[in-house]
Amino acid sequence: MLRKMLRSHSPFSSGHFLLASVFFLACGSADVVDEPIDEGPGPASGIVCPSNSTLTYENFGIPIFTNYCTKSHSENPPDMSRHGAPRGLNWDNLDTIRAYVEAIDKMAAAGPDAVNETMPPEMPFPSTDERRDLGEWLVCGAPE
């Protein structure tokens, strides 16, 4: 039986991956979501934050997550179905995105070390350039 744990940091920060028992923090609450990830994350994209990055939550984060993620990863998904996404992983919340930058990078971002295409699992898919920008925005701290 999986044990519920409250974690104050990303479960991916230790580098240990137990795909069947990865836990996620519920958005804005002390509840923990104990649903496993169906597909494991890939390698880190390896992208480095450039000093001249102009990507922000307003000009990049909101559009990319709206276009590719929040149909499943939202507190109120458009068709009221999460399409199998674990409860609590709501990418319409910047704090939750920031708590899982490493996991998002390993599932959806691109960089010199990897192009991760686990997410989204169905069309539409972001371009490789959008995935690189996602990796950049995440590694720069997902700035507002």
Task: Count up the domains in the chain and report the number.
Answer: 1
Range with lowest mean pLDDT among 11-15, 121-125, 132-136: 11-15
Domain span at 118: 44-78+86-139
* Domain assignment present for 72: yes
* Domain assignment present for 33: no
Token digits of residue 17: 């991956």
Residue 144 has pLDDT above 90, yes or no: yes
* Domain assignment present for 128: yes
* Domain assignment present for 99: yes
* Domain assignment present for 5: no
Model confidence over 99-123: pLDDT tens digits?
999 999 999 999 999 999 999 988 9
Torsion sign across C-alpha atoms 48, 144, 24, 36:
negative
* Domain assignment present for 59: yes
Instruction: Collect all residues with Cβ–Cβ distance below 8 Å to 46 and sequence separation of at least 6.
Output: 111, 112, 113, 114
Q: Which residue has the higher pLDDT, 110 or 36?
A: 110
* Domain assignment present for 13: no
Of all residues in the chain, the percent with pLDDT exceeding 90 is 50
The 3-class secondary structure across 56-108, one letter per residue, is CHHHHHHHHHHHHCCCCCCCCCCCCCCCCCCCCCCCCCHHHHHHCHHHHHHHH
Range with lowest mean pLDDT among 27-36, 42-51, 119-128: 27-36
Query: What is the predicted pLDDT for the residue at 120?
Result: 92
* Domain assignment present for 11: no
Model confidence over 60-98: pLDDT tens digits?
999 999 999 988 888 887 777 777 888 888 888 899 899
With beta carbons less than 8 A apart as the criterion, state whether 43 and 109 touch: no
Cα angle 93, 94, 97; round to 5: 95
